[in-house]
Amino acid sequence: MKRTHCPSQAVTKDSGNKADINLEGNSARQHPGIIRKERLLVPLPQTTTPLPKENVIAFYAYMSGDFPNPGASHTLIYDTVITNEGNGYHSATGSFIAPQTGFYVFSWTMRLANGEYHRAELVHNHKVMGVAYLYAPTGDHMVSDVVVFHVNQGDDVFVRTQTGANNGDIESGFGGRSSFTGWKLN
C-alpha cells in the first residue's frame, strides 16, 4: 500500500460559522513562500417557514386541443387550468392579471407539426417581453421560452402570435402540450 503525504493544517476559528485553514505541505513545497488558505463554512441550522398561502402566486395551464391556424396578433387561450394559486390566470381570455406586485417568472411552450411555423410572444401591458420562434419541417417540434421581470398588481400578461408570417395549427395533445405558466418570486 502506497502512502501519500498529508499536509499539516492550522485551523483558527472565526465568528463561530467559519474557520480559516492554512494548508502547508505539498503546495508549500512546490511553491515556496505561498501559503494556501481555504475557508470552511459550517452550515447553520435551517429554519424554513412555509409562505402563507395568500403570498403564493402560481399558475399552469395548457391547451386542451389543437388551435387551428391562428392569425397574426391572436391571443392564445390555455383553457385547461391545473394550478391557479392566487387566481391570477383567466382561462376565458388567456391572460394573467397580477394579484400582487413583484418579480415573476413566465414560461410558454408551443408545439407544431409538419411544415408549420409560428412566432409566439409574451406580452406585458402591450410590451413584448419575449419571443419564441418554431419551424417544424418534419414531425412534431416544440419550443419554450422563459422570462423574468417586474410586474405591478393589476398588470396584464399573455401569449399571442406575432404579427407577420405564421402558418398552421398550434398543436396540443398526447405528443406534447402547448402551455403557459408563471409564478411570483418571493
- Domain edges within the chain: 8-41, 53-184
Distance CA 92, CA 58 (A): 17
State the Cα torsion 83-88-90-95 to the nearest 10°: -110
Q: Which CATH number fits domain 53-184: 3.40.50.300, 3.90.1200.10, 3.40.50.1240, 2.60.120.40?
A: 2.60.120.40
Segment holding 50, helix H or strand E = none
Residue 46 or residue 59, greater confidence? 59
Q: Give me the percent of the chain exceeding a pLDDT of 90.
A: 56
Q: What pTM was estimated for this model as a whole?
A: 0.71
At 11 the pLDDT is 47
